[in-house]
C-alpha cells in the first residue's frame, strides 16, 4: 500500500515525510482493518513530524483522523463495509487507576494513533475494534475526517471549560478545531467571541456567525464566562485569562505550548479564575460529539490534499493558511 513515513523528525519546510510502498497491515486479534478514504491533518501531526513530541516508533505513519471502511476483522457490531472513524486514542489498558475512574483519556499506558502505532496517511490502517466509531451517514468521507480529532477534542475542550448553554465563550485561534467547536456552541445558543490572527480566519468566523471577531491581540468587548485557546502559544492563554469574568475558566486545547509567560496573579488569576489543560479524549467524548454533529448537521469546511502532498498540507496548517481543516485523500 502507499504510505507517508516519518523516519526522522525535521522542520516541515525540509519535508520530513517520505513516500513509498509498504506492506499492508493485517488485522490482529481484536483489531479491524480499515481501508482509508480520508485522513484529516491535525496540529499534533505537525508536532510529531517536527519532533516537538518525542519519537515513539520509527518509521511511523502519522495521521489520526481516519475515515474508511472495514475490510477485515469484521464483527457483528462492525460489519464489513461499515463506514468508521479512528481517532487519536488508539487504545487504553482499561486497568490503570485512571481508566478505572473513568478517565481513560489520562491512561498510564495509552496507544496513540499515528504516533505510538501507525496511522492513516496510508491506504490502510489496523485499529483496535473497541476504538473505532461508526460514522453518521450524512457526511462525505472528507467532511467526516476533521470531526475525529479536531471535532472531538474541540468538543472536549468546551466540556473541560464547563460551558453552559447561553454563556459567553471566547475562542482564541480559529483553525479546524475552533470552527467545529463554534458550531456546537451556536447549537447551545452561546455567544461566541473569536480572537484570531489572519484576515481569512476572521472572515470565516464572521461568516459562521460569531458575535464578535477581533485580531489576536484584541480583547473581546465583554467579560467572558469561558474561553478555549487553540494555538500552541502561551501568550494566548494569558490573553484569554485577561478576558474572563471572576470564576471563569480557560481550557487549553494544545498538546504542546511554546511556553507560559509570567503573568500577574492578582489581576489575572485571583477571583477563582481557572486554567485547565485538555488531554486526549474518551470514547464517550467521541460518541457524544459524533451524535451532536449528526443532529446539528455539522459540515466542516475542508481543503483536500493528495497523500503525496502531506508535507505541503502540514506546512499549510503551520502557516494557518487553511480555512477549516486540511484533509489527505490517499
Ligand atoms: Zn489506563
Ligand atoms: Zn489531533
> Which pLDDT band, with edges at 50, 70 and 90, does 121 fall under?
very high
- Mean pLDDT along residues 109-116: 98
For residues 44 and 281, give the distance between their C-alpha atoms in angstroms, rounded to a whole number: 14
The pLDDT, as a whole number, for residue 52 is 93
> Which pLDDT band, with edges at 50, 70 and 90, does 138 fall under?
confident
Within a 10 A sphere around the Cβ of 171, how many other Cβ atoms?
A: 31
Strand partners, 13: none
Length of the chain: 330
The pLDDT, as a whole number, for residue 61 is 98
* Interval 310-325: pLDDT, tens: 999 999 999 988 888 9
| Nearest ligand to residue 119 Cα | 2
What is the rounded average pLDDT for all residues in the chain?
96
* Interval 156-181: pLDDT, tens: 999 999 999 999 999 999 988 999 99
The pLDDT, as a whole number, for residue 323 is 84
What's the gap in Å between 265 CA and the centre of ligand 2?
A: 31
The pLDDT, as a whole number, for residue 176 is 87
Pairing mode of beta strands 66-72, 31-40: antiparallel
- Phi–psi pair at 4, nearest 5 degrees: -100, 130
155 close to 288: Cβ distance less than 8 angstroms: yes
The pLDDT, as a whole number, for residue 198 is 87
The pLDDT, as a whole number, for residue 129 is 98
* Interval 204-249: pLDDT, tens: 999 999 999 999 889 999 999 999 999 889 999 999 999 999 999 9
What's the gap in Å between 222 CA and the centre of ligand 2?
A: 31
What's the gap in Å between 106 CA and the centre of ligand 1?
A: 7
What's the gap in Å between 101 CA and the centre of ligand 1?
A: 9
Give the distance, in angstroms, between the CA of residue 247 and the centroid of all CA atoms in the same chain.
Answer: 27
| Nearest ligand to residue 91 Cα | 1
The pLDDT, as a whole number, for residue 109 is 97
What's the gap in Å between 206 CA and the centre of ligand 2?
A: 25
* The 3-state secondary structure of the chain, one letter per residue: CEEEEECCCCCHHHCCEEEEECCCCCCCCCEEEEEEEEEECCHHHHHHHCCCCCCCCCCECCCCCEEEEEEECCCCCCCCCCEEEECCEEECCCCCHHHHCCCHHHCCCCEEECCCECCCCECEEEEEHHHEEECCCCCCHHHHHHHHCHHHHHHHHHHHCCCCCCCEEEEECCCHHHHHHHHHHHHCCCEEEEECCCHHHHHHHHHCCCCEEECCCCCCCCCEEEEEECCCCHHHHHHHHCCEEEEEEEEECCCCCCCCCCCCHHHHCCCCCEEEECCCCCHHHHHHHHHHHHHHCCCCCEEEEEHHHHHHHHHHHHCCCCCCEEEEEC
Pairing mode of beta strands 2-6, 244-252: unpaired
What's the gap in Å between 272 CA and the centre of ligand 2?
A: 30
What's the gap in Å between 64 CA and the centre of ligand 2?
A: 6
What's the gap in Å between 313 CA and the centre of ligand 1?
A: 33
Evaluated on CA atoms 241, 243, 246, 248, the torsion sign reads: negative
pLDDT tops 90 at residue 253: yes
The pLDDT, as a whole number, for residue 324 is 85
Amino acid at each position: 500500500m502507499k504510505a507517508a513515513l516519518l523516519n526522522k523528525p525535521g522542520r516541515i519546510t525540509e519535508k520530513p515525510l517520505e513516500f513509498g510502498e509498504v506492506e499492508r497491515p493485517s488485522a490482529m486479534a481484536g483489531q479491524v482493518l480499515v481501508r482509508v478514504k480520508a485522513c484529516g491533518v491535525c496540529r499534533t501531526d505537525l508536532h510529531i513530524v517536527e519532533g516537538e513530541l518525542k519519537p515513539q516508533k520509527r518509521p511511523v505513519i502519522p495521521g489520526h483522523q481516519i475515515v474508511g471502511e472495514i475490510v477485515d476483522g469484521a464483527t457483528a457490531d462492525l460489519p464489513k463495509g461499515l463506514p468508521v472513524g479512528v481517532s487519536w486514542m488508539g487504545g487504553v489498558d482499561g486497568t490503570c487507576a485512571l481508566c478505572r475512574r473513568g478517565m481513560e483519556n489520562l491512561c498510564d499506558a495509552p496507544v496513540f494513533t499515528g504516533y505510538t502505532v501507525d496511522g492513516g496517511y496510508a491506504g490502510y490502517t489496523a485499529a483496535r475494534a473497541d476504538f473505532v466509531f461508526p460514522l453518521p451517514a450524512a457526511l462525505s468521507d472528507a467532511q467526516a475526517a476533521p470531526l475525529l480529532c479536531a471535532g472531538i477534542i474541540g468538543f472536549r475542550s468546551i466540556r473541560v471549560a464547563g460551558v453552559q448553554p447561553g454563556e459567553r465563550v471566547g475562542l482564541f485561534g480559529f483553525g479546524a478545531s475552533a470552527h467545529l467547536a463554534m458550531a456546537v456552541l451556536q447549537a447551545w445558543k452561546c455567544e461566541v467571541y473569536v480572537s484570531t490572527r489572519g484576515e481569512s480566519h476572521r472572515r470565516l468566523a464572521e461568516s459562521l456567525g460569531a458575535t464578535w471577531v477581533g485580531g489576536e491581540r484584541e480583547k473581546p468587548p465583554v467579560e467572558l464566562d469561558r474561553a478555549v485557546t487553540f494555538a500552541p502559544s502561551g501568550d494566548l492563554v494569558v490573553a484569554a485569562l485577561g478576558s474572563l469574568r471572576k470564576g471563569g475558566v480557560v481550557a487549553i486545547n494544545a498538546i504542546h505550548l511554546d511556553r507560559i509567560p509570567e503573568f500577574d496573579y492578582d489581576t489575572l488569576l485571583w477571583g477563582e479564575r481557572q486554567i485547565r489543560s485538555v488531554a486526549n479524549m474518551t470514547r464517550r467524548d467521541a460518541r457524544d460529539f459524533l451524535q451532536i454533529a449528526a443532529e446539528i448537521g455539522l459540515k466542516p469546511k475542508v481543503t483536500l490534499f493528495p497523500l503525496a502532498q502531506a508535507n505541503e498540507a502540514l506546512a499549510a496548517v503551520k502557516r494557518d493558511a487553511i480555512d477549516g481543516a486540511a484533509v489527505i485523500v490517499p
